[in-house]
Chains A and B, each alone.
Chain A
Amino acid sequence: MFNRDLWSEIFHSIKSNKLRTFLTGFSVAWGIFILVLLLASVDGMKNGFTKQFNDDATNSIFIYPGTTTKPYGGFEAGRRIQFDNEDIEYIEKSFPGYYEYITPRFTKSVTARVGNETGTYSARAVNPDHQQIERTVINNGRYINENDIKNTLKVAVIGKVISDELFKDQDPVGNNIILNDLSYKVIGVFSDDGNEREERNMYVPVTTFQRLYGNTNKIDQIALTYNPEFNFAEAINFSDNLEVILKRRLVIDPDDQGALYMNNYAEGFSDVSNFTTMLSVISIAIGMLILIAGIVGIGNILVFIIKERTKEIGVRKALGARPYDVIKLVLLESVFITSVSGMIGLFFAMGLVALISPIVDAPAFSNPSVDTVTVITSTIVLIVAGVLAGLIPAIKAAKVKPIVALRAD
């Protein structure tokens, strides 16, 4: 199959039939070129959409307790679910590596006073991890740290609005603020772009509030972020597992929809994800159609080639060419042309994509690129299908009686 003589025969016939070679090659190269550009465009659109929709996306999951709606495990329906610190520890122990940050949340409305200024705000008792989950930006001072938690210090990180309303022009950091008649030290001020309501909140160490208000270990909500390397399915899977395990721990019917609310941000983006999946499906479908067009083109040209070469085939057979020799000659030539021109189309398209990719970064179209595996697979499919398309005429040609082939003009 790979002897030098056969290849020199093939090169010879390629060299002596430039137009034919060009026509076949061009249809293959063009098909691959278009396919790669199509895939790259879809990829660019996908990137654009993902970027736009997921811009302020987080990988957070919020868990809110509710009221049971089904009797389960000896409890009647209508039981209020209450989280406590051990639930958090349990999650931490059960899912190492699955979560990135985790914090309890305990919200309380407080009356704050600085000097003569007073106001009512909501205070969130949290862990230091909360900063990453909420992406709180500290303007001044610092956020709650482990030391504050350990020593149940009366410290507070206040929103910019609170700072403006109570401290006026004064720098609040280091000064005291009276919350529900207890004095706290302000350790930081945060701001939240585009969300002024958020700036009416303040953060205090969770342990401090738990000690001061009822000396409990109860918490209102659990907030966590899943491992950022998770894809959509893994994220959903993780939150499903989390729900199952928490329901088991808190003795809740697995089918009870009201007892726990899992708010997984990943789910919110499933629409975007569905959209891009749809886009991929469409692109693959169109790619297939283009491939079919390419295959038909190759098949066409091969039929033409073989028709044109009937007489030559007859001469070769008269001189002792076996049917196998004829098929080999015709097919290897077309395989060679299709592969080489397929590669040429591939490199041109990939070169173009590589050239354009860094430049294009519009909101809806960003960094188009192609999956090498997809491209190589489609090239191989194109070649194989081209060969199959050529095989039938080649076999037919090999079967023609030399006398008939010789008579052909």
Chain B
Amino acid sequence: MIEIKDLHKSYHMGSNSLHVLKGINFSVKEGELVAIMGSSGSGKSTLLNILGMLDNLDEGEYLLDGVPIKNLSETKAANYRNKFLGFIFQSFNLINYKTAWENVALPLYYQGVNRKVRKEKAVKYLESVGLGPWVDHLPSELSGGQKQRVAIARALAAEPKVMLADEPTGALDSKTSHEVMDLIQKINDQGNTILVVTHEEDIAHMCKRIVHLKDGVIVEDSVINQVRVSPHVQ
């Protein structure tokens, strides 16, 4: 699903150049649940941003579902993001003046789906994350965990090939973190490919594979025994 060869990325700030990713080789198959771990500054978020086409790569090759991703125009990148990717952010990034279902329906709006179908789908996905009764609520009326579940429903709505989660539990307490991870595991069970960036060991172990990043290179890439959340969540 994802194939990366010899990926380099550096940031320039004035005369200083910061080489963040120094040759990443990495691939993800369909249905995987991968945790990308590393301390801050290891380049894990940069990698996710490049995977998410939110940022451009400098050198190397990136194939997403067989499509080469390089030097895309803004419009093309937008179309690919819309079709291929679902994002889950640490700070949720919901649009605060839109209700839960309208937030979820937003990617569908950019797909050109008509309003009626949008609402049906959005409500369906909100129900699937357990927010059926909160469909018409604004983000400000929801708890952190609920907000993140709205964001997950939004990422699901576009039926993406890959879901990218950047510290999805970073702003949540441990109980809600586990709820969110439970949801992510269940979505993965249905065959969705998911990448989770995290710096928390326990969250990483709820995935099926852990990729360790350090100073811009992959230092460890191992398949692990997944810790299921379900028994812990009541």
Contacts and interface: CB of A to CB of B under 8 A. Distances in A.
A312 B92 CA distance: 12
B107 A406 contact: no
Given A4-B115, A16-B97, A315-B95, A324 B81 contact: no
Contact of B95 (A312, A320, A398, A403): A312
Contacts of B209: none
B89 interface: yes
Contacts of B111: 320
Interface string B66-84: 0000000011001101110
B106 to A, nearest CB: 5
B191 to A, nearest CB: 22
A12 interface: yes
B110 A320 contact: yes
Given A316-B106, A401-B55, A322 B115 contact: no
A157 B6 CA distance: 116
Contacts of A314: 93
A74 B53 CA distance: 96
Interface residues of B, number: 29
A319 B106 contact: yes
A399 B85 CA distance: 20
A17 interface: yes
Contact of B115 (A5, A15, A323): A5
B26 interface: no
Interface string B182-212: 0000000000000000000000000000000
Given A4-B115, A319-B81, A322-B74, A406 B55 contact: no
A5 B109 contact: yes
A13 interface: yes
Interface string B52-72: 101110000000000000000
Given A13-B97, A316-B106, A322 B89 contact: no
A311 B93 contact: yes
Contacts of B82: 319-320
Nearest to B102: A12
A317 interface: yes
Nearest to B94: A315
A13 to B, nearest CB: 7
Given A318-B54, A403-B54, A12 B97 contact: yes
A241 B74 CA distance: 68
B154 interface: yes
Contacts of A16: 97
Interface of B: 49, 52, 54-56, 74-75, 78-79, 81-83, 87, 89, 93-95, 97-98, 102, 106-107, 109-111, 114-115, 154, 158
Interface of A: 4-5, 8-9, 12-13, 15-17, 311-312, 314-325, 398-399, 401-403, 406
Given A320-B81, A323-B74, 12 more contacts: A4-B115, A5-B114, A12-B97, A315-B95, A318-B54, A318-B93, A319-B81, A320-B82, A320-B110, A323-B75, A323-B78, A324-B75
16 contacts: A5-B114, A8-B115, A316-B110, A318-B54, A319-B87, A319-B110, A319-B158, A320-B107, A320-B158, A322-B75, A322-B78, A323-B74, A399-B74, A401-B54, A401-B55, A406-B89
